[in-house]
Amino acid sequence: MDDGRVGGTGRGFVTAEDVARRAGVSRSAVSRTFTEGASVSERTKERVLKAARALGYRVNRLARGLISERSTLVGVLGANLSTPYMAAQLDSLSRALLQENLQCLLLNATDAERNIKRLIDLILEFRVRAIVVMSGLPPNAIVKECIDSGVRVILVNKIMESASADTIVADDAAGARLAADALIRAGCRRPAVISSAVGTGSQKRRVEVSVARFAALGIETVRWSGGATSYETGGTAARELLAAHEIDGAFCVTDLLALGFLDTVRAAGKRVPEDISVVGFDDIPQASWRSYRLTTIRHPVEDLTQGVMQAVLHEADPRKPLKTVVRLELVERATVRKG
């Protein structure tokens, strides 16, 4: 039976009442001691802190958030948590939240397309300050419900024109044009554009804009999509494209796809960049490794985090959303021929 004891040791959580009893003060004196800016005498504070240390007391911040007007919890929905770019995003955001004395409540949104409403309902039960959506796209009705409850909804690299959510969006279109232009300058006339079958809005924009950029110069592209957004999918794309087409360039819409593509074309005897030029997207840490030195589009994690934190800390009416566009840049390394 669950009796609220810790680890089956028979010892329960230490409460503020326990501290008050040991220190010989009131329950409210304990609360004031652990509330920044509250009025409490030095003598009382010293007695409370001494009792708290002896008992191993910790403030129940979840309970405090439930009874106060300002929650310290920020809900975060993210999928593909093990991929390098998502891991970097979560690392950056969680550190930034801690610096502001806020806590990150992370939920795995791998099945976000099917259950994002349930996930958001669960987050709202914790009375969060804001919800950061990194994966999936919540229905407008859910966004409205959150905002009507005073909870900001912050969409990262997602666009909902009809919703009053804050949006922090990387300029994927500009990045895709930079990638296409790099291959065009390299003299590529038979390029491939490679994406996964996940079909996120970001990937779709990168594909469509780059294909249009090539088409504007009369260059026909081979479009390939399939599988998860993974290293293995990049390898599959390389094998299938080499078997069916004489490509001389490839724009992989994520670096993870590009790394798998690179290793596979090299294993097949193709020289990079002499035979095939390759451009990725994101600039994950592995892209700069000596074995890859991938030319890519830098998708700055810290800039995305700064935009999210600006929205989280924004005190204005959540029905007046913030819109932030993050600029991208081409990082030239060793996988594209010099024009």
Q: What is the pLDDT of residues 197-239, one digit of tens each?
A: 988 889 999 999 999 999 999 999 999 999 999 999 999 999 9
Token representation of residue 150? 């005073």
Q: What is the pTM of this model?
A: 0.79
What is the reported pLDDT for 158?
Answer: 85
What is the reported pLDDT for 82?
Answer: 87
pLDDT at 284 over 90: yes
pLDDT at 127 over 90: no
In whole angstroms, what is the distance from residue 264 CA to residue 194 CA? Answer: 14
* Residue length of the chain: 339
| Mean pLDDT over the full length of the chain | 88
Centre a 10 Å sphere on the Cβ of residue 224 and count the other Cβ atoms it contains.
Answer: 24
SS3 144: helix
Token representation of residue 314? 């924004």
SS3 119: helix
In whole angstroms, what is the distance from residue 302 CA to residue 310 CA? Answer: 12
pLDDT in tens, 61-100: 555 554 455 678 999 998 888 889 999 999 999 999 999 9
What is the reported pLDDT for 65?
Answer: 52
pLDDT at 326 over 90: yes
What is the reported pLDDT for 160?
Answer: 79
Higher per-residue pLDDT: 71 or 317: 71
Domains and CATH numbers, the chain: 16-59 (1.10.260.40), 71-170+301-327 (3.40.50.2300), 172-300 (3.40.50.2300)
pLDDT in tens, 160-198: 776 789 999 999 999 999 999 999 999 999 999 999 998
pLDDT in tens, 17-34: 888 999 999 988 888 888
pLDDT at 6 over 70: no
Higher per-residue pLDDT: 10 or 299: 299
Q: Using pLDDT thresholds of 50, 70 and 90, give the confidence band for residue 7.
A: very low
The CA-based angle 22-25-27, given to 5 degrees, is: 95
Q: Using pLDDT thresholds of 50, 70 and 90, give the confidence band for residue 112.
A: low
Question: Which of 5-9, 24-28, 142-146, 306-310 has the least mean pLDDT?
Answer: 5-9
